Structure 1
Amino acid sequence: MVDFNIIQTLPAELAFVRELVQYRIGMLQGAPLDEPVFPQPASWQLHLIEFAAKYHLDAEEIILLWIALTPHVKSDLYDEAIQEMLKDSVDLPAIGGMRGKNFRGFMPTGETALFLLAGENFHRRFQLQRLFEAEHLFGKNRILSLEDVPPGEPRMSGRLVLSQEYVELFTTGKVSKPHFSSNFPARLIQTELTWDDLVLAEDVLVQVKEMEHWLLHSERLLNEWGMKNKFKKGYRVLFYGPPGTGKTLTANLLGNFTGRDVYKIDLSMVVSKYIGETEKNLENLFARAEAKKWILFFDEADALFGKRTGVRDAHDKYANQEVSYLLQRMEDFDGLIILASNMKNNIDDAFIRRFNAIVHFNLPTEDDRLLIWKKSFPKSIDFSENMNIPELVKKYEVSGGNIINIVQYACLKAFEKNKSEICLQDVLAGIKREMHKEGRPFSLS
């Protein structure tokens, strides 16, 4: 008998899944129960209403999500529902299911979903397999999929895999930012600076504006103006130039201005010496980023996007295959990808041809350096002896990143001396330190 006390404590969606399991088993046993009634949205307790409305999901698509979500909410629901109907522990292959490595409960498979949605109606089963196609909403947006099965085994025996992001969304109503890990080798980078804090050459600013316009208007261009089939997905950009010239900050500000998260890829965790692992790591990353409107920022991209070599051995062959994979994956990605490199010539020509924009970040001119110096010093702090330090040091050829390091050094020296003003000698010492770091001579003249 059905334990109605258990059902009453469940969310309406899970109570429906439980009743559906027992209804289908009852049909197989020739002792049918009443067919469960699809619960009205007003009674739902999980967070699927807005999602279902946004994507115009039908009842079968909604039930499939509930079936996949059930073990994440109540781990023993399937086992309890099945055991109540099969008192003699009879094996029931028709319901499918499997056990996990750590999870001890029943985990639904594609076969489970077909059984619950269509019973023994094979025509309907064949129709429902559309829910697992790559072109379905669930597949395209990496929401729900079937786990791969060993060669020769039925595809529908694969476990139903609901993306962890959507498990979180459907249970808590929100999705947290992904954590940096071996499965997601990227860090969210943020800044409180604004465009007013960044000093760039006029031609660079023009190209940055073009990127802003794409981020703001790409969906309208592709969909409302009907250019989806004529233009490639996404936007690919190369930033190149010396360190400290604003490449990372520009990527950050693009995200801030357009309301998009910027993720900086840790290439040390992506590139692997083992054949096929680099592609696997990248695929995990791109799959998480797909359809999220993120900006992916590959700093020091030479390590991954460098020139292909002549094939001398198997390692060269697979290294070139990595580049070929990247070319295709970049073109399939629907967001903004920014590659940053010190030298344009270090990037493979095949990538160069596919960039929508190539932006050269030069070292700042003397006038630009003066502006960066003025913006970098604390606004409320004076200079010793009323010196115009920005004017006095603008002649030294240093980058914006160098200037920030120098200002920090001079400020700390002021604290060390218990002074509330910045000294020219400390600024010059900071310039000397930065130039020596880069192997360049320093002269006061």
Structure 2
Amino acid sequence: MSGPDLPWTPAPSAATADSLLPAAAASLEAELEWLASCLQARLGSYFGTPPSSPALPVDAPLLGQPGCPYAAAVQGHGLDPAERLVLALALAPSLRPQLLDVLWSPNTSIQRPYTEFGAIGGGPVCLPSGETACFLLAGDALALRLAAMRRLAPESRLARQDVLRVGPPAMSGSAGIPVSPLAGPLQVSPRFLAEALPGLPLPVSGEAGLPARRVFSGLGWHDLVLPAQTLAQLEDIALWLTHGHTLLHEWGLGRRSAPGHVSLFHGPSGTGKTLSAGLLGQRCGREVWRVDLSQVSSKYIGETEKNLARLFEAAEQAGWILFFDEADALFGKRTGVSDAHDRYANQEVSYLLQRIEAFAGVVILATNLRHNIDDAFLRRFHSVVAFPMPKAAERLRLWQESIPAAARLDPAIDLAALARRHEISGGTLLNVVRHACLQALGRGDTTLRPTDLDEGLRRELLKEGRTS
């Protein structure tokens, strides 16, 4: 399902995103007030005497202010009032969840929520479904319901332009029979959110439809403790993120080169591969999404390709960095084909490689063991970045920077000696500090004692099959 072929534009800076907030808030406030009025009018007419079902209970307000990205996105996609109303309904759980509480009202005659409202419960907020949208647009009028169903169909404009879709419906009964094709949640696409509300990573249900999750970090680029060569290679990727578009399109290299950049991060667990990917995105104003390989692969033929297609389309439009962890699960050394399952697995890998090579962005593949990656795949990568175990000087800096400001070191603790004696990764070291801090808090003081660190080290080394 692909949207319009729009070029990616860099994510706005924090200052730019902040300047857009007042206009976006004003537009969304008007849309949500309109939604509330439509809900009230629909419920009033539905329960009225006699009941009635007007096409749209309340006229749509004027859309947006100059410079408002939400208004521009809605107008750019040519959404009509009914589509705008469905979009506002889908955004309501994130922006004004209490607005939909009325849809949870119980039907006293059957002692459960009204079926026709289509509200999805079981969580802290009410989630609207495709059935909810049909009720809002049509009430009990069958002709209007059929028109509303067309607006939510897979071939509709909302879905075709990747604005909004109806997610998979819940399953009912032991036979696992779908309740209704429209019983799934309304899902706003991440691509549309990046266009309409830049800089606001709303946790709407549209993200749940992608086999990936966004990577966040509270650290900064200066917190990276890595060898100079590794940092230099990361700087090269940052240069691509900043100047790749100019290189390909203004300097003309795009005629001879792939449109994106593919990098392999390899090294032991806890050496900073995921952190580095997250900080690259933070530094260059890009979101980083970690791909869940368990959600990508499907036992149903063709589903894996659909999952990947949606992911890459969303990432390309929004300018995301895609981060594949444990990449050797897909790019490991190949064995002979013995059955249809092996042949199809090879087809999945080939399809993924095609999507990666055609992706006009940055893809980072991570593995703990480089030698597990097939050499045929290695040749396709633009850079291979090593994340070795930190040396003594780097470990000393990690020890020093990992101790919380609120904690105090016992004078008997020699961090330099610990750094020389124990060859551990930054992730392991952080676990040791965490253990020591918890022990201090348990005693009711703020002093980290040598025994706290020694016990933490012993436990971490035992996990790795080593002894001190």
TM range (shorter): 0.5 to 0.7
Shift in alpha-carbon separation, 1:173–1:277, aligned structure 2, 3 A: closer
Further displaced range: 397-406 or 303-312:
303-312
CA distance in 2, matches of 1:391, 1:274: 55
1:45 aligns with 2:44: no
Matches within 5 A, 1:2-401: 45=63, 64-66=78-80, 69=83, 72=86, 99=146, 103-104=148-149, 107=151, 164=189, 176-177=201-202, 179=204, 183-401=209-427
Partner SS, residue 309 of structure 1: coil
Contact 1:47 1:171 survives alignment (8 Å): no
CA radius of gyration, larger in: 1
Report the CA distance between 1:71 and its aligned residue: 6.9
CA distance in 2, matches of 1:394, 1:183: 47
Of the two structures, which has the highest relative contact order with CA contacts closer than 8 Å and spacing of 6 or more?
2
Structure 1: tracts of 5 or more residues without a match: 1-9, 12-42, 84-88, 92-96, 114-137, 146-161
Contact 1:178 1:184 survives alignment (8 Å): no
Report the CA distance between 1:378 and its aligned residue: 2.0
Contact 1:327 1:350 survives alignment (8 Å): no
Contact 2:191 2:315 survives alignment (8 Å): no
Contact 2:162 2:192 survives alignment (8 Å): no
Further displaced range: 278-287 or 199-208:
278-287
Structure 2: tracts of 5 or more residues without a match: 1-29, 32-60, 89-132, 166-186
Contact 1:69 1:167 survives alignment (8 Å): no
Report the CA distance between 1:108 and its aligned residue: 9.1
Report the CA distance between 1:289 and its aligned residue: 1.3
Report the CA distance between 1:390 and its aligned residue: 3.8
Which whole-Å deviations, capped at 9, do the CAs of 1:235-267 have from their partners, x for residues lacking one?
111000100101011111101111111111122
Partner SS, residue 273 of structure 1: coil
User: Structure 1 vs Structure 2: percent identity of aligned residues?
Assistant: 41
Letter matched to residue 433 of structure 1: R
Shift in alpha-carbon separation, 1:336–1:302, aligned structure 2, 3 A: same
CA distance in 2, matches of 1:112, 1:227: 38
Contact 1:186 1:265 survives alignment (8 Å): yes
Which whole-Å deviations, capped at 9, do the CAs of 1:369-411 have from their partners, x for residues lacking one?
1121111112353322353234344321111100000001111
Report the CA distance between 1:47 and its aligned residue: 7.5
Report the CA distance between 1:309 and its aligned residue: 2.4
State the superposition RMSD in angstroms. Answer: 4.2
Partner SS, residue 221 of structure 1: helix
Which whole-Å deviations, capped at 9, do the CAs of 1:346-376 have from their partners, x for residues lacking one?
2233321111100111111122111211111
Partner SS, residue 340 of structure 1: strand
CA distance in 2, matches of 1:312, 1:215: 42
Shift in alpha-carbon separation, 1:45–1:372, aligned structure 2, 3 A: same
Further displaced range: 276-285 or 213-222:
276-285
Contact 2:70 2:196 survives alignment (8 Å): no
Report the CA distance between 1:196 and its aligned residue: 2.3
CA distance in 2, matches of 1:346, 1:339: 13
CA distance in 2, matches of 1:233, 1:68: 38
Partner SS, residue 275 of structure 1: coil
Alignment counterpart, residue 447 of structure 2, candidates 421, 431, 434 = 421
Partner SS, residue 45 of structure 1: coil
| Number of residue-to-residue matches in the alignment | 344
Letter matched to residue 289 of structure 2: Y
Letter matched to residue 399 of structure 1: S
CA distance in 2, matches of 1:300, 1:285: 18
Shift in alpha-carbon separation, 1:201–1:69, aligned structure 2, 3 A: same
What's the TM-score, normalizing by structure 1?
0.66
